[in-house]
């Protein structure tokens, strides 16, 4: 039975899984990334993980593997990969069409030949793409945007990531640097983006942005908000702000409202550039659910460019964290 392996490479952990063409998960594996080792040892561990997952896949009762085998990569048999069609890797950065990683902040990688190295170790097709793109592809194959020819996936986390699907395929642009929608500049903001520019979408509508704006407001003047005490005790998080907003706190609601306003503004820009059939929201902030969704929809109403058009609906993603590995596995479907 032909299988697809997906790897979700993060700053903390490397997660992997073996999947059927239909997205059924056969077995999984998770080990620490240990970023400080640098590129080559991590690439070797990913190769070991692929061999170990392929071996687990052949067992009568495959399960979850939690440690890397202490064995040279060259000592694994390539023959053991005979049932694996391809390996896909989602990275928190930008890679080109052959898997050359141009940029990967969390891993401190700039210009490493991840795809090439792994093809050398494994001898099977290897695809590398941005993690948000991979999660967006997973949603389009098995999730909430399934059936839509053109869709956009927005991850609202520490930053904002994006995945663009055009004609049922991933669109990443000429250098793999497209769908970086978190850096679309949509206004003037009171602090600069980590990229060095001002006004990036993610400085208005990510979890970090929510927190920064709350702190800005709290530091600005005396306020009777329930957030004051929480802030002073160092417990302020995006979740707490949403919780207090739900309880009716005025300042918390103003902060959430500002985020919803700019989230809608970014979505309006995506409507006017890409006009997708549907837009899915994922990442940590999507846990706020209808409370956030309702506000965003209200702010979109009456503000779309062509009033007579029914623009794409905004929905919450449904695959959650699993989207990372299953989406990476399905890169084989996208590119093969």
Interaction residues for a copy of itself, span 75-134 (CB under 8 A): 94, 102-103, 110-111
Nearer to a copy of itself, 27 or 101 (CB): 101
Nearer to a copy of itself by Cβ, of 29 and 160: the residue is 160
Q: In the block, which residue shows the tokens 């306020």?
A: 223
> How many chain residues touch a copy of itself (CB under 8 A)?
51
Site string for a copy of itself, 1-40 (x = CB under 8 A): ----------------------------------------
Helix (H, G, I), strand (E, B) or coil at 133: helix
Among 11, 63, 123, 173, binds a copy of itself (CB under 8 A): 173
Judged by beta carbon, residue 251 or residue 278, the one nearer a copy of itself is: 278
Task: Quote the Cα angle for 123-127-130, to 5°.
Answer: 150
> In the set 156, 170, 186, 319, which binds a copy of itself (CB under 8 A)?
186
The contacts of residue 196 (CB under 8 Å, 6+ apart) are none
- Between strands 169-171 and 160-166, the pairing is antiparallel
Closest to a copy of itself by CB, 231 or 311? 311
Closest distance of CB 133 from a copy of itself, Å: 12
The residue written with tokens 């997973």 in the block is 138
Residues 6+ apart with CB under 8 A from 21: 2, 4, 333
Which residues contact residue 108 at a Cβ distance below 8 angstroms, ignoring those fewer than 6 apart? 35
Q: Which of 10, 113, 199, 320 binds a copy of itself (CB under 8 A)?
A: 199
Binding to a copy of itself (CB under 8 A) within 285-304 occurs at 303
292, 242 contact by CB (below 8 A) = yes
Contacting residue, 3, 15, 48, 183, with a copy of itself by CB under 8 A: 183
Among 22, 188, 220, 290, binds a copy of itself (CB under 8 A): 188
Angle among Cα 34, 35, 40 to the nearest 5 degrees reads: 95
Residues 230-269 that bind a copy of itself (CB under 8 A): 265, 268-269
Cβ of residue 150: shortest distance to a copy of itself, in angstroms? 5
Tokens in use for 234?
A: 């160092």
Residue from 10, 113, 187, 284 binding a copy of itself (CB under 8 A): 187
Query: Which two structure tokens, joined as six digits, stand for 3?
Result: 């299988």
Which one among 25, 177, 315, 316 touches a copy of itself, defined by CB under 8 A?
Answer: 177
- DSSP labels, 5-74: EEEEE-SSEEEEEEE-TT--EEEEEEEE--GGG-HHHHHHHHHHHHHHHHHHHHSSS--EE-S---S-GG
Helix (H) or strand (E) holding 262: helix 250-274
- Among 60, 70, 167, 219, indicate the residue that binds a copy of itself (CB under 8 A): 167
Element (H, E) at 114: helix 114-122
CA distance 103 to 176: 10
List 129, 180, 244, 249, residue binding a copy of itself (CB under 8 A): 180
Judged by beta carbon, residue 33 or residue 145, the one nearer a copy of itself is 145
**Residue from 122, 144, 181, 227 in contact with a copy of itself (CB under 8 A):** 181
Least CB distance to a copy of itself at residue 311 (A): 7
The binder of a copy of itself chosen from 171, 261, 291, 335 (CB under 8 A): 171
CB 141 within 8 A of CB 22: no
Contacting positions for a copy of itself (CB under 8 A): 94, 102-103, 110-111, 149-150, 162, 164, 166-167, 171-181, 183-188, 195-197, 199, 265, 268-277, 303, 305-306, 308-312
């Amino acid at each position: 039975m032909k299988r697809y392996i997906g790897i979700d490479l993060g700053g903390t952990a490397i997660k992997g899984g073996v999947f059927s063409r239909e997205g059924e998960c056969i077995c999984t594996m998770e080990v620490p990334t240990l970023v400080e080792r640098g590129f080559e040892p991590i690439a070797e561990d990913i190769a070991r993980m692929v061999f170990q997952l392929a071996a687990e896949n052949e067992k009568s009762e495959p399960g979850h593997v939690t440690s890397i085998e202490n064995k040279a990569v060259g000592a694994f048999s390539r023959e053991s990969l005979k049932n694996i069609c391809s390996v896909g890797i989602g990275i928190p950065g930008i890679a080109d069409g052959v898997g050359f990683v141009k940029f990967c902040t969390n891993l401190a990688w700039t210009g490493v030949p991840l795809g090439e190295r792994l093809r050398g170790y494994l001898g099977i097709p290897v695809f590398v793409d941005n993690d948000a793109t991979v999660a967006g592809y997973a949603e389009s194959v098995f999730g909430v945007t399934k059936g839509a020819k053109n869709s956009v996936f927005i991850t609202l986390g520490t930053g904002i990531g994006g995945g663009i699907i055009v004609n049922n395929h991933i669109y990443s642009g000429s250098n793999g640097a497209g769908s970086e929608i978190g850096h679309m500049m949509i206004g003037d903001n009171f602090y600069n983006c980590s990229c060095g520019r001002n006004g990036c979408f993610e400085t208005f509508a990510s979890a970090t942005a929510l927190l920064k704006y709350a702190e800005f407001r709290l530091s600005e003047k005396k306020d009777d908000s329930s957030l004051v005490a929480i802030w002073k005790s160092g417990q302020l998080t995006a979740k707490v702000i949403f919780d207090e907003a739900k309880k009716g706190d005025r300042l918390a609601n103003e902060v959430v409202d500002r985020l919803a306003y700019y989230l809608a503004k970014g979505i309006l820009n995506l409507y006017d550039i890409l006009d997708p059939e549907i837009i899915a929201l994922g990442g940590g902030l999507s846990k706020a659910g209808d409370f956030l969704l309702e506000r965003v929809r209200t702010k979109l109403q009456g503000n779309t460019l062509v009033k007579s058009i029914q623009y794409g609906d905004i929905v919450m993603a449904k695959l959650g964290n699993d989207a990372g590995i299953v989406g990476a596995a399905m890169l084989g479907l996208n590119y093969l």
